[in-house]
Structure formats: C-alpha cells, structure tokens
Amino acid sequence: MLSRRNALKAGVTTGMVGGAGLLVPYLPHAAADTSGTADAGTPGPTATGTVPPAVIPQFAVPLTVPPVLSPTSTSATTDYYTVTMQKAYTTIVPGTKTEVYTYNGSFPGPTIKARFQRRVVVKQINNLGTPVSVHLHGGNVPQDSDGSPMNLIAPGGARNYTYPNDQDNATLWIHDHAHHMESENVYRGLTSLYLLCDDLERSLPLPGGEYDVPLILRDGRFGANGQLIYELDDHLLRNTILVNGRPWPYFQVAARKYRFRILNGSNSRIFSLALSDGTSFVQIGSDGGLLEKPNATANLMLSPGERADVVIDFSRYPIGTRLVLTNPGMPGPPEIGQVLRFDVTRTAPDPSEVPDRLGELAAPQLATVNRSFVLRMDEDGRPNAAAYINDKTYDANRIDTQIAWGTTEVWTVSNANQYAPHNFHLHQVQFRVLERNGKAPDPSEGGLKDTVRLFPGEAVKLLITFDSYEGVYPYHCHLFDHGAMGMMGNMQIS
C-alpha cells in the first residue's frame, strides 16, 4: 500500500485517478531516499529542497522549433555530422537563465534529417564534464553504435556513431543512455529528433516544409532561481510542461493542415493528448514510421519514448480561434493538464492531403519462441526502492535473454505493480503489438513500435523478429527513473 508518509512526500493530493479505469496514481516509491543510490550524488546546478518553486505563466511565449543540423561534410554514400555536448543557458522561468545540457547548445538538440540507405556518421564530442552515451532510439544499428549504457564517452572524449538508415521512414530520436545517469542527463536536456525519410514517405502528399512541425513534449520542475530540480522519481512534483524546450508555448498556425511529430521526451510522465474542443485529429504514424492507414482519434496516449505523427486540420476553425492541446485526467498538479495553445491567425493555401493508404507493413512471421517478462518495482515506500524485470535488477555484465539470430518470437510483457505504470522498449528492433490485455490492440498501436505502455495489471504480446545485427542490446522500462532503479535487461542475438 501507498503509505501516508510517502503520499505526502510526493505531494499526492487530488486528481490522481483518471478515467477509463486505466489511470492510477503514479507511485512515489523512491522519492523517499536516493542518497544511498550509486552515482546519485552527482550535484546538479541546484541543491534541492531549499529553493522555492518557480512561477511560470502559461501561453506567454511562442513555440520554437529546434534547428535542422547541417552536415559538416558529405560523400557519395554518407553524411557526416559533428555535435558537441555542452552546457548552455536558456530562459524558461521569466527573468532567469536555466542551465541545461545540450547537443550543440540547443535545447532540445538540433534535428538530424536522414534518408533511407544513406549512411549518417555523427561525431559526438563530450564537453559536459560527465560521462555520456549517445543512443539512437528506434534505430536499427550495429552494437558498437547503439550507445548502450556501458559504452561511454568520458568527459573530454569523442566518438563516432554510424547509422546505416536501413529501415523504413520513422520519427526516431537521440538521447543520453549513460548507465545510471541517463535519467538525469536526459532530464537536463540531452534529447534530439532524428527524422528518417524514405521514397514512400516522400511520394505522399502529406503536409511538409514549415507545416511539418516537431513537438517534443516533456515535464520538469523548476526552482524560482530558474534551475531544473532533478530528484529521482519525482514525477508528481514536475509541474511544468515544456514543448520544444519552452513552457506551455502558443503556436500561431494557418487555417490548414499541419503534420506534427510528437515525441514524449519525459522521464516518467505519460501524456494523454486531446484537443480542448474535443474534436478528432488524424494519427498517421507511430514509433517505427507511417501507419498502414490513418487513424482518426480524439485522444492519444504517449508514454515516455513513444512517438506519434498526427495531422490536425485547422481549416475547420475561424481565424481568431484559440485551441489548446490538453492532457486531461492524468496524475499530477492541475497545470500539467495544458500543453500548448494553437492560435489560428491566418489563411494559407493547402495542397496537402492525407491519403487513405499510407504504407504496407511486412506480413508478420510465424513465431517459434515464447517468453515472458514481468515488470515490477518496490512500491511499499521502502528506502532505496529497486525495479526489476523477472525479479532481477540490471546487471550490465549479465545476459538475460539469449536469442538465436533469425528467430521470430512472441514476448508477453506484463506490469505486476499495483500503482506504478511502466513501459517496455527494446533496442535495435521494431515490433508489432499482437494483443493488449488479451484483445487486439487499438489502431494507434497497429504499426511498427519500439516502445509500448503498460499500466498496472496490463499485459501486451509483442511479435519480434531478430534478423538484423548480432550483438548485445538492452531492453528496459523507458520511464528513465525506473531504468536507473534497475528495470533493464540484456539480450544477446547470435
């Protein structure tokens, strides 16, 4: 049970229980004590507990879009990029400068645009003063470029990551993965989009150019001095929503269709997105690329690490309309119920269309191996709470799952917790969701996925084919705080 002490500590008050019987309180397990956790003593810019909370107005700043990174050189086969990880300062709390961790000084980092079967090599230089590992989330890449937790770049060091881009169009992303530090490193800003485009996507008349807009969503907790406050598993006190690094921005749109690439880049927050007028929008893609056909929906659930491409048609609104992207019914303080405001300010021509068919997914292979994975964490308020997969915490040197190359498997993944939500992410592969709680999944989960949410008591069946690179890759809960508490395992494909 959730103890009163911990409930108070985590600021659990009202608004905890959402609709549909799915949403339950996020449990404040480890908030109690992180002092004994290895590596947790790395000081952030702010000593926690002493700084009064920031007051940040909503819808007071315009949305900005991260810059697109230009290659430093190109060859017949390859685009070469150089990225420097460094601290930078940005304004989030009015009148202050927030210290953030960045790729190339940008918060979030610059977007890399890649093309199918054209190689990308990124030289990452670590000027942060803390070890890092750079992971391409959703990317099918060789082990030595995967950016796994133990494959670190020391402070002052650099390394090249090679991405073959031998997979379908997809909205991928880059983030830190340094073992035990990824949670804080990503929280402080190490996040970038990586858009992989192919001929199929290019042939479709979807909204493009300035009408194809990334929305990187996350939460955070700020002190009045402007600094980000990081405490392990502190999700209920993270009361500020950032979109592309700006607090609750407004976005002036034309009365036409836009494509939005939405990434949930939060450590722990699950978003349940809706428009304030209750109307539907059209989901066209998920983690691993475009869906087979568009999915009209009024609500979109995204757990940390998941992506969705959606099209919103603002032509149905008169000029002057203000429409809010909301996050109703989710646990946390009331401010987190708002995300972004769209202000319809002008007309514009719109030659774009959402075709009835967006793509074709490969026929599922027949599975010959079944496995099960039980996700669980201590949620009884004990100090130094840990998190487990099949009752084990992560050991970087242990192989948990041995996979024969070429095999197709069904993985049944379940959440054995009473309060804590989880999700499940595998490196290297895109999978299909066969079932959620014994039923066919919702169309939003019908495409290629690399991360799947699991509320307490839920179970999913995943169909996964391991027929690309051999090697050792991790799988884990993508609520980064849980990964840092041990909810991670290794698979060896050979």
Give the binding site for ligand C2O (CB under 6 A): 135, 137, 175, 177, 305, 425, 427, 474, 476, 478
Q: Which of residues 136-165 bind Cu ion (CB under 5 A)?
A: 137
- Give me the least distance between CB of 148 and Cu ion, in Å please: 9
Does residue 179 interact with Cu ion by CB under 5 A?
Answer: no
Does residue 389 interact with Cu ion by CB under 5 A?
Answer: no
The residue (of 207 and 471) whose beta carbon lies closer to ligand C2O is: 471
How many angstroms separate the CA atoms of 137 and 134, rounded?
9
Q: Among all chains, which residue has been given the structure tokens 């929305």?
A: 215
The residue (of 207 and 288) whose beta carbon lies closer to ligand C2O is: 288
For 61, the token pair is: 């700043």
Task: Indicate which single residue of 479, 484, 491, 493 sits in contact with Cu ion (rule: CB under 5 A).
Answer: 479
Does residue 291 interact with Cu ion by CB under 5 A?
Answer: no
- Give me the least distance between CB of 176 and ligand C2O, in Å please: 9
- Give me the least distance between CB of 425 and Cu ion, in Å please: 5
Q: Which among Cu ion, ligand C2O, none contacts residue 477 (Cβ within 5 to 8 A by kind)?
A: Cu ion
Q: Which among ligand C2O, Cu ion, none contacts residue 170 (Cβ within 5 to 8 A by kind)?
A: none
How many angstroms separate the CA atoms of 147 and 141, rounded?
10
Interface with Cu ion by CB under 5 A: which range of 43-51, 295-303, 414-422, 434-442? 414-422
- Give me the least distance between CB of 131 and ligand C2O, in Å please: 16
Task: Indicate which single residue of 196, 448, 477, 493 sits in contact with Cu ion (rule: CB under 5 A).
Answer: 477
- Residue 377's DSSP bridge partners are 387
How many angstroms separate the CA atoms of 231 and 221, rounded?
9
- Conformational region of residue 358, where left means phi above 0, alpha means psi within -120 to 50, and beta covers everything else: alpha
Residues in contact with Cu ion, shown as a per-residue x/- string from 425 to 444 under the rule CB under 5 A: --x-----------------
Residue 91: burial class (beta carbons within 10 Å; 0-12, 13-18, 19+): middle
Q: Which among ligand C2O, Cu ion, none contacts residue 175 (Cβ within 5 to 8 A by kind)?
A: ligand C2O
* Cα of 254 vs its chain's centroid, Å: 28
- Give me the least distance between CB of 182 and ligand C2O, in Å please: 8
For 238, the token pair is: 């993270």
The residue (of 85 and 172) whose beta carbon lies closer to Cu ion is: 172
Pairing verdict, β 369-377 and 401-403: unpaired
How many angstroms separate the CA atoms of 99 and 88, rounded?
6
The residue (of 10 and 174) whose beta carbon lies closer to ligand C2O is: 174
Q: Among all chains, which residue has been given the structure tokens 């487990």?
A: 388
Does residue 482 interact with Cu ion by CB under 5 A?
Answer: yes
Closest CA to 271 of 184, 342, 191, 329: 329
Residues in contact with Cu ion, shown as a per-residue x/- string from 104 to 143 under the rule CB under 5 A: ---------------------------------x------
- Give me the least distance between CB of 108 and ligand C2O, in Å please: 14
How many angstroms separate the CA atoms of 42 and 356, rounded?
51
Q: Which among Cu ion, ligand C2O, none contacts residue 476 (Cβ within 5 to 8 A by kind)?
A: ligand C2O
* Contact between residue 235 and residue 480 where contact means Cβ atoms under 8 Å apart: no
Distances from the Cα of 195 to the Cα of 109, 258, 392, 427, angstroms: 13, 17, 35, 17
The residue (of 303 and 326) whose beta carbon lies closer to ligand C2O is: 303
Q: Which residue is nearest to ligand C2O (CB)?
A: 137
Q: Is the alpha carbon torsion for 100, 195, 479, 245 positive or negative?
A: positive
- Give me the least distance between CB of 446 and Cu ion, in Å please: 21
* Contact between residue 233 and residue 31 where contact means Cβ atoms under 8 Å apart: yes
Distances from the Cα of 386 to the Cα of 89, 331, 413, 426, angstroms: 34, 22, 19, 20
- Conformational region of residue 320, where left means phi above 0, alpha means psi within -120 to 50, and beta covers everything else: left
The residue (of 159 and 422) whose beta carbon lies closer to Cu ion is: 422
Q: Which among Cu ion, ligand C2O, none contacts residue 177 (Cβ within 5 to 8 A by kind)?
A: ligand C2O
Number of residues that bind Cu ion (CB under 5 A): 6
Closest CA to 165 of 289, 264, 64, 256: 289
The residue (of 206 and 429) whose beta carbon lies closer to ligand C2O is: 429
The residue (of 246 and 307) whose beta carbon lies closer to ligand C2O is: 307
Q: Which among ligand C2O, Cu ion, none contacts residue 479 (Cβ within 5 to 8 A by kind)?
A: Cu ion
Q: Is the alpha carbon torsion for 389, 393, 394, 395 positive or negative?
A: negative
Contacting positions for Cu ion (CB under 5 A): 137, 422, 427, 477, 479, 482
